[in-house]
Amino acid sequence: MNIEHQEQMQKVLSALKSMTVKNFFFVGCGGSKAALGPGDYFMDRELNLPSKVYTSNEFIHLNPKTLGENSVVITRSHSGTTPETVDATKFARDKGAMTIAISMDMASPLCREAEYVVHYNYKDGSDAVDGDTGMFWALIFNIINALSPNEKYDRLLNQLSNLENLFEVNKKNTYDAAFDFGKRNKREKLIYTMASGAYFDQAYSFTSCLLMEMLWIHSNAIHSGEYFHGPFEVTDYDVPFLVIVGDGPSRPLDDRALEFAQKFSDKIEVVDVQKLDYLKVDADLRAYFGPAIIGAVLRQYADGLAEHTGHPLSVRRYMWKMEY
Amino acid sequence: MNIEHQEQMQKVLSALKSMTVKNFFFVGCGGSKAALGPGDYFMDRELNLPSKVYTSNEFIHLNPKTLGENSVVITRSHSGTTPETVDATKFARDKGAMTIAISMDMASPLCREAEYVVHYNYKDGSDAVDGDTGMFWALIFNIINALSPNEKYDRLLNQLSNLENLFEVNKKNTYDAAFDFGKRNKREKLIYTMASGAYFDQAYSFTSCLLMEMLWIHSNAIHSGEYFHGPFEVTDYDVPFLVIVGDGPSRPLDDRALEFAQKFSDKIEVVDVQKLDYLKVDADLRAYFGPAIIGAVLRQYADGLAEHTGHPLSVRRYMWKMEY
């Protein structure tokens, strides 16, 4: 981690030590909200403190009663300009909460509104440990380790230095499958996604930002645990699903949903996190690393669709083109 | 409320008074999880205690660290037989939490596992105050009133006696619109839903249980606050959306999403909660009653689709027909 990033992290941790934390709020929109999801998931499992995720505008209008001076509000926006998230940060700070903004741009409105900032590098060729996933994982597990110290978090934080290689190797290993997925699915107007646990937000992000936003393909991110309670009735031989089978505690949910889906649909694509190459990551830390790696792998499945549909991921019809 | 129901409620409230409540968990699957959602929403706004919703199997596998002797876990299953929810109740009770099960069948496995039970009547011609919505609203606002007393909750609980008439009048007022929606949309293979606040779970339920499960129509429940952060790019002249415009604090989110959607799609159906007839409900209590009434209204939109597609809501291809 570079020195600027280390200093930001130290400021956050010092501030945390000087307060009594009562709860955590994760607040963002779309892909940024989804990117915060694993933070909520891991805190839920590891910390004896409540946490919750909100889409920014709902957070403001709902106005949670537990939000106050003992709250930590972590907001996130890639550009740092998302108006709802800037407003949510101001709203939380006005309530006396400790605010931490995550963005690639320190000069952005979001970072100006927040008391603490966590910057990440973006497409500048620097090591992945300083990128969006590396910095977010560092933030979350530094916080968890500060509030509930455990040697496994020390190891986890050290082994974030593997991220760059983990991304590279696993992207290479899944490239062919991802592009073949694009070829086989290029005529599809609708592709469902499915996942659970810390991976659910990856499915949500793939559905909302990659399929719907960037590729104009209809979709819905179905929680594997919810599949049998309604959604599974749309399963048919010609209905495509991209199923993430995670390697965390909820893997049995994914396995069960996958087994059923494969029985009745001929168009099931499986992304099995257990088949990733974890390189030098300790075996007991894999469930923390899987959700960090899978995003880079999944991106290639969207690249595959873009390649074969001739619809670049950069094309929009509304976003950035008009006021809304 | 009938005597059996009153006694159940009193037992819950007495037990609550004898413990120090630290947090609430709402746990269920599919439509039952969605039905619990407004409880989480209202507690979030009104109580200075954390609450969170989980799908049952995720709840067990995630194993939230804050779950313990000071927790209240509210589980729900219509039949009381949903295996994941029965297991979740047992899991929570083993952790020392206070468990409250909601079901129409007191002899069900769910109700046998839970320490406390809240029964609701189902299709027996009794007053709606004893039905699923009436009993759940009574439970939630009795709990909120016990922990944070306010005269408005007393009025709210009293005015639940209006539910029967509210259902009847508002179903009647929206019947034609709902059946016309069915006629206009009978050829659609995909219909999105959209909502926010306490209404989001109504959209989720309509999407998962009515459109996908009962009608085999593809769908996705989009949060109005998330619409502009990805999903809105699928909007086009021929893409249908059913938009619930709520009457609570997040109505501005719905208004904004609706305005955009109507500009680019010719197939927008609006269900405006402000146009409901609230009869004798006090003006300051409407935001509590809207989410209680809208489910009965929305059901008619599914009835309209069933009528015009000739696909009865009772038809399934997998559910109840095989092991899974």
Q: What is the ipTM of this complex?
A: 0.98
**Cβ-Cβ contacts under 8 Å, A30 against chain B:** 226, 228-230
The answer as to whether A323 is a domain residue is: no
**Average of per-residue pLDDT across A96-123:** 98
Judged by a CB distance cut-off of 8 A, whether residue B318 touches chain A is yes
State how beta strands B221-223 and A192-195 pair.
Answer: unpaired
**Average of per-residue pLDDT across A182-202:** 98
- CA-nearest residue of chain B to A148? B65
Q: Which of B149, B177, B199 is the last residue of a domain?
A: B149
Share of chain A above pLDDT 70, in %: 100
Report residue A321 as tokens.
């083109």
Would you tell me which residues 73-102 of chain A have a C-beta closer than 8 angstroms to some C-beta of chain B? 82, 84
Q: CB count, 10 Å around CB of B296?
A: 18
Judged by a CB distance cut-off of 8 A, whether residue A108 touches chain B is no
Q: Which residues of A115-154 are buried (b: 16+ CB within 10 A; e: fewer)?
A: bbbbbbbeeeeeebbbbbbbbbbbbbbbbbbebeeeeebe
- CA-nearest residue of chain B to A220? B220
- CA-nearest residue of chain B to A256? B324
Q: Which of A93, A123, A149 is the last residue of a domain?
A: A149
Structural contact between residues A198 and A38, judged by C-beta atoms closer than 8 angstroms: yes
Place of tokens 């970072």: A111
> Are A217 and A296 in a shared domain?
yes
Question: How far is residue A86 from each of residues A1, A29, A57, A232, B129, measured CA to CA in Å?
Answer: 26, 11, 10, 38, 43
Which letter does DSSP use for residue B269 in this model? E
Domains held by chain A: number: 2
Report residue A109 as tokens.
């409105």
* HSE (side-chain half, CA atoms, 13 Å) at A265: 23
- Burial of residue B134 (CB within 10 Å: 0-12, 13-18, 19+) is buried
Q: What is the pLDDT of residue B291?
A: 98
Residue of A233, A245, A259 best to disrupt the B interface, most CBs of B under 10 A: A233
> Are B176 and B142 in a shared domain?
no
One-letter identity of residue A284: D
Share of chain A above pLDDT 90, in %: 100
Write the pLDDT tens digit of every residue in A52-71.
999 999 999 999 999 999 99
Confidence of residue A289 (pLDDT cuts 50, 70, 90): very high
Q: What is the DSSP string of B30-98?
A: HHHHHHHHHHHHHHHHH-SS-EEEEEHHHHHHH--TT-STTEEEEEE-SSS--HHHHHHHHHHHHTT-E
> Are B82 and B184 in a shared domain?
no
Q: For residue B84, give the nearest of A65, A197, A225 by CB distance.
A: A225
A144: containing domain: 3-149
> Are B177 and B135 in a shared domain?
no
State how beta strands B116-119 and B98-103 pair.
Answer: parallel
Order of strands across the sheet that contains B192-195: B221-223, B192-195, B241-245, B268-272
The answer as to whether B267 is a domain residue is: yes
The answer as to whether A314 is a domain residue is: no
> Are B116 and B167 in a shared domain?
no
Residue B85 belongs to a domain with what CATH number? 3.40.50.10490
> Are A55 and A182 in a shared domain?
no
Q: What is the pLDDT of residue B264?
A: 98
Give chain A's mean pLDDT: 98
Q: What is the pLDDT of residue A127?
A: 97
> Are A145 and A220 in a shared domain?
no
Give how far A7 is from chain B: nearest CA, Å. 30
Q: Which of B122, B149, B176 is the last residue of a domain?
A: B149
> Are A256 and A288 in a shared domain?
yes
Residues in chain B: 324
Judged by a CB distance cut-off of 8 A, whether residue A319 touches chain B is yes
**Cβ-Cβ contacts under 8 Å, A48 against chain B:** 65-66
Give how far A2 is from chain B: nearest CA, Å. 31
Q: What is the pLDDT of residue B60?
A: 98
> Are A181 and A122 in a shared domain?
no
> Are A132 and A218 in a shared domain?
no
Give how far A298 is from chain B: nearest CA, Å. 17
State how beta strands B51-55 and A116-119 pair.
Answer: unpaired
Query: Structure pTM?
Result: 0.98
Are B47 and A63 in contact (CB < 8 Å)? no
Are A324 and B228 in contact (CB < 8 Å)? yes
Write the pLDDT tens digit of every residue in A127-183.
999 999 999 999 999 999 999 999 999 999 999 999 999 999 999 999 999 999 999
Q: What is the pLDDT of residue A81?
A: 98
Please list the ranges in chain B whose pLDDT falls under 70. none
Give how far B25 is from chain A: nearest CA, Å. 11
The answer as to whether B125 is a domain residue is: yes
The answer as to whether A317 is a domain residue is: no
The answer as to whether B251 is a domain residue is: yes
Are B253 and A61 in contact (CB < 8 Å)? yes
Question: From CA A247, how far away is CA A284, in angstroms rounded?
Answer: 11
Are A48 and B63 in contact (CB < 8 Å)? no
Q: What is the pLDDT of residue B304?
A: 98
> Are B138 and B9 in a shared domain?
yes
Question: From CA B178, how far away is CA B213, in angstroms rounded?
Answer: 19
Q: What is the pLDDT of residue B294?
A: 98
The answer as to whether A320 is a domain residue is: no
> Are B8 and B131 in a shared domain?
yes
Helix (H, G, I), strand (E, B) or coil at B11: helix
Q: What is the pLDDT of residue A301?
A: 98
One-letter identity of residue B41: Y
Residue of B48, B220, B245 best to disrupt the A interface, most CBs of A under 10 A: B220
The answer as to whether A187 is a domain residue is: yes
Would you tell me which residues 121-180 of chain B have a C-beta closer than 8 angstroms to some C-beta of chain A? none
Q: What is the pLDDT of residue A152?
A: 98
**Cβ-Cβ contacts under 8 Å, A196 against chain B:** 58, 61
